[in-house]
Structure 1
Amino acid sequence: MRQAVQAVQHCFDHKVFHSDIHSANILINVQTLELKLIDFGCGSLSSNSAYPSLEYAGANEIRSPEVVMDQTYHAVPLNVWQLGVLLYEMVNGSSIDYTYVQVKFENPNLSEDEETFALQSELEAVEKQIQDLLEKQTRLRERITALETSRAEARKSAVSFHRDYNTSSTSTPRVSLHRAQAKRTRSAQMNFTPAPAHQRRKGASQDR
């Protein structure tokens, strides 16, 4: 039964109205138990507007009450009625005997609710789209936050490396320069140290 309902829903999703749903128009694969809805000879494009009851072309035994009693009917309520008849036949193994059936609707304006049903379906579709967009927004924000965090950590690592490199590159020349200057100072002090007086006199006599 679930597959029959899904088949009818699939038709409406593709704007197709199958107005003749009964056991003779259903095929079942006995090996896979897969159901197929066939015979669209009475079908038409689905519409939210009412259909004239005089133009109904489906089987008489699955007509909904509004087809019999009113001048118009709507697609969804008719298919719901036909699925109900199909379920009855599946459970009881026989067709409905309308001689002993008395139909009483809690909502006498069932077919008039077609527009409300369509609006409700559209609203649910819009709400689903909004929910999908909100979830997508959340995922994008998480990705942006992760990307910004990664970039901030990369910048911190680059600044730290730059500081360490500058420190190591400037410390060595200063040490070497200081040592070289110290050597030159000692050398200069040794060259200009005055000789003792007796050595100066001895040197002067030798020059003479």
Structure 2
Amino acid sequence: MASLVSLASSLTGSRYADGLVVVGISFGTAVLCEIISWILIYRTSSYKSLRSSIDKASKKLETMKNSSSSGGGSVSVVVKKSSKNKKMDRVESSLKESTRDLSLFKFKSGAVVAVVLFVVFGLLNSLFDGKPVAKLPFAPVSLVYKMSHRGLPGSDPTDCSMAFLYLLCSVSIRTNLQKFLGFSPPRGAAGASLFPVPDPKIS
């Protein structure tokens, strides 16, 4: 990794070399994390089955909600709506169960990815500790300044620390990479959690 830093410095000059190294390593780490996730999760039949069931349930629920918004106020229509609401509740319960299973299934790869990110962050921190790696185009607000300038000497508000740049790159690069590769979470699993919020309809 030290050779990568020196190579970038010789090619781009000292002004932007450190920032480009952090961005490059962030991109490489994101690719590595997606490879790990593919090996442990995305290529398995269990994941494909769960994703398919979530997609189907999401589309079915959306169709049922759209169709329930139409109709008159007669007794027969009210009875039909009541029956349809029960079906929607069953579909919603199935969708929540599938998203919870998906979260649990992805947990094992998440632990491995967390270890990789921790190791890479430790290596970068040892290389760029107390050293600004980039210049912000503006002076950030106080809250952002505390994060972007953390661990840096001096008081220049446009100095950007490695940790702040690495955090921004890790979030944005991996999110867009997942979308590009088709590994982003299913639409119905958005916000899926191991600890779901209780349903307000359940007393």
Give your verdict on TM over 0.5.
no
- The structure carrying a bigger strand percent of its residues is 1
Higher relative contact order (CA 8 A, sep 6+): 2
Give the TM-score of the pair, scaled to structure 2: 0.20
Give the TM-score of the pair, scaled to structure 1: 0.19
- The structure carrying a bigger helix percent of its residues is 2
